[in-house]
Structure 1
Amino acid sequence: MSSSLLVIRPYVRDDLDATIEIFLRAIQETASADYTPAQVNAWAQVNKDSWIKRRQGRAIWMALVDNTPAGFAEFEPDGHIDMLFVHPSFGGTGVAAALLRTIEQAAIQRGAPQLFTEASITARGFFERQGFRTIAAQSVPCRGESLTNYRMEKIIQAPSC
């Protein structure tokens, strides 16, 4: 990506369709290597109204590569990373790492001592490379299927005395 311009900016309402497309394609094309077709079909569903409601009150960033939506990430004030998805066309290019750095900076500014997430099988290795540790594997029900993911955390600030 050395000749491409990567920009991380706050989410705006006009990003709705791009985030949904990134989410669906990341599951259908990237995560499909680690989940069965039935699991992918159960996971890769979006209700637009619910999607909009769920985004309210969260810090969300968009990653753009040469003005093309490449990924997005959501962060809750308690340090929870609810979503971090990259469009399959931009996998392995540093987009996810740039989004995570943005989240870490926001968490530090807000005084969150740690970040935590429920990483998919596909994302687990990425989070480990970024300093997260696995707390536990878990099985999550999703529209009649059971999806494996991993509770993971990263300490980003030492507790104050």
Structure 2
Amino acid sequence: MPVSGDRFSVRPYGPDDAQATIDIFLSAIRKVASKDYSPAEIAAWAKVDDAEIWAQYRASRPTWLALDGSTPIGFTDLKSDGCLDMMFVSPDYQGKGVASLLLATVERAARKQGLQQIFTEASLTARPFFERKGFVVVAAQRVEKRGQTLSNFLMEKALA
């Protein structure tokens, strides 16, 4: 069931949305996260080796797509353990409330599942957003991606 913000809507991910989510993922990393990570780190992170595996992964958990009209502009997901695994917004839609709408969708779904908290592994780029939304840093982390070591933060938020 679609959820609408002032300008944008959110609907459940469908089988035909895989390429749109890949495009959003790659452009968000290359154009937005590139201010916080080196070119080598971005090259290691911004890769999708197998679109079919990506599509299976997206379909394996609740995933939502943010839309401007019919144009996909962001996506997020929620694993059964409360992990918000991915949230990416197209570069042209940064700072316009898309991530807030996606996060509100995740939080509603988590509450419906009876979860007491949600958590994520936020990039350097995403950390300020999640902090503004009530997440706290549990631990700074270093993760390996294709030979590069990237910094991120394990963050959690209690759901009231």
Fold similarity call, TM over 0.5: yes
**What letter matches 2:39 in structure 1?**
P
Q: Partners in 2 of 1:98 and 1:138 — Cα distance?
A: 27
1:8-27 equivalences under 5 Å are 8-27=10-29
Superposition RMSD on alpha carbons, in Å?
Answer: 1.0
Deviation at 1:53, TM superposition (A): 2.4
Aligned residue for 1:42, secondary structure, equals: helix
- 1:152 and 2:141 equivalent? no
Q: Give ranges in structure 2 of 5+ residues lacking alignment.
A: 1-5
TM-score w.r.t. structure 1 length?
0.93
Cα separation, partners in 2 of 1:56 and 1:14, compared to 1, 3 Å: closer
Q: Displacement of 1:49 after TM fit? A: 2.3
Q: Which moved more, 1:147-156 or 1:65-74?
A: 65-74
1:55 Cα deviation from its structure 2 partner: 1.9
SS of the aligned residue for 2:80 comes to coil
Q: Secondary structure at the match of 2:96?
A: coil
The structural deviation recorded for 1:125 is 0.2
Q: Which residue of 2 aligns with 1:91?
A: 94
Q: Is 1:140 aligned to residue 143 of structure 2?
A: yes
Percent identity between the two aligned chains: 50
The residue aligned with 2:59 is: 56
119-128 or 54-63, which deviates more: 54-63
Is 2:124 the partner of 1:121?
A: yes
Which whole-Å CA distance do the structure 1 matches of 2:146 and 2:89 have between them? 23
Deviations 1:98-153 (A, max 9, x none): 00000000000000110000000000000000000000110000000001000000
- Equivalent residue, structure 2, for 1:107: 110
Secondary structure in structure 1 of the residue aligned to 2:27: helix
Segment drifting more, 96-105 vs 65-74: 65-74
For 2:18, the aligned partner's letter is L
Partner of 1:45: 47
Segments of 4+ in structure 1 off by > 3 A? Answer: none
Superposition deviation, residue 65 in structure 1? 1.1
How many pairs does the alignment contain? 154
How far off its partner does 1:77 sit? 1.5
CA distance in 2, matches of 1:84, 1:119: 9
Gaps of 5+ in 1: none
Secondary structure of residue in 2 paired with 1:39: helix
Amino acid at match of 1:15: D
SS at match of 1:117: strand
Separation in 1, partners of 2:60, 2:44:
26
CA apart distance, 1:41: 0.2
